[in-house]
Structure 1
């Protein structure tokens, strides 16, 4: 996730990808330049498809792919794959099983994907949220999740009575740090004294740990809960305690009809269709994609009807301006936790720096 340049996900990128195929080794070039009648596509998930969060969203993308391409694609998936050696084993087996393309969907799958891709140059690999690729058979794709976090931060500050939010976080990687900072920056645009307390659970999916972290945050005075973990447990605790909360990666309102104000929804399906269609057409080549609201990789779940009208209007304004390209949350002045100016007034943090972000903005308590 630390590359210094990203291309937008647009249809025209396929023609660029076809041109780059000329640089491929002969065997890979032949594999990807020959049209296919059907593509076998495999997906590897870090959590269960029933988490109703990140892995669930990717699986909805898989189903979208099947819906759009019908019998031109045959899909399979493996869920609950641990990041590390187990990933390598699963990827290698899927490649040996004759899959034409393999989507490895978690940051911790990156290095195993790099290794296995080298072993199977005639298989296409796509890795989500990482920063390593090659020009032969491994591309990367990502979502600007932080754009949605800015919407959540705006809502949080407007609805909080204590001026304090709790953030249930998974791992301290740039993607998560980026989200914490975006949420806090947006909240402090509304309330300059707003505070965000972070609790790390060191897991993407652990309902018990997530619930305990939420309870601790609420006990410490937070009345808004947000999360970068994948179970609905934080929402369920917030519902019981009368707090405001947000879903993760998908609309989780069914678990907390009163607490759930909205959620970031990961919309991976169109990208999966593009990649498989490129293989069908004999035009596939590794790409480097980082899209957001404008590119329809990211959208927001419907607002809770109980949300005040002025809050809905403010949140929608952030969405509309983000899509229009006139709202960028990482625009200075921005200070870090210690009050040191990190980004000057009017300057924007470049994508390359965002993708290796390792510091917290003012207002974050971690």
Structure 2
């Protein structure tokens, strides 16, 4: 059981919360207690509350002009040195509660870290709310947010979008998230409401059903994303047809499309070319696709038939990296090869 107790400067007990289960965070206890609900009557402007370093509550009490005084996590330091700064912070832990995620965001701020990956954390709406609260209180800026978690439910994706907005994040990676049409619809609605703008969206999920690809296109359009990356998605003609239909309906415009998938068959490449045409894509990367002459001929014929001009890069296909520029001046097409 958890109980929050407050003391006056004289030592007298001034506040006792209700009892909560161990899984409830300290911040949640504050949010649900009378202390916050009656803050205007309890505190005067300029009052100060002393709390342990785990209580990141300034955002809750700021509207009442009440200051939260806590010990610093790293005494005497407002920011890490250049040598101590983090390039990337990955968390692989399914036991950390909401309070831990608020502290995590404080570490991001101190270390000026721009990349956060949460893997196998059994993420919930409550845990992500901790990240959101920390981003709001600490004014954290992220370049990339990666979620590797197949247990997160639909309501978690709503909070995820708020995190993208507050942190001004430009790249979102969703890996092994068992994405569904419903989950992506939550992302889409949030992106529209929050006016989210992404530079890159990466999806690595072999379980995502075909109809969800239609919503991927809608998310790309809503976020004005120009770089889409599909990896280990077991792409098929059906999945790509749904993606193409979404691109057509949403009028998606792409700068770069990356496919990392060794399972796609010849008929999938025919649909792929159609997507390139619909999205006016300028660059296509095919990596580890077990390419054959037949597959490449299908791409070439499609580009010729639809008058597509595109930069094509092939990597990890057994012969090293190969760049192919497909040009179509009138009726004469040619391939320009270069290592």
Larger radius of gyration: 2
User: TM-score normalised by the shorter chain: which range applies?
Assistant: under 0.3
Identify which of structures 1 and 2 has the higher relative contact order when contacts are C-alpha pairs closer than 8 Å and 6+ apart.
Answer: 1
Q: TM-score, normalised by structure 2?
A: 0.28
Q: TM-score, normalised by structure 1?
A: 0.26
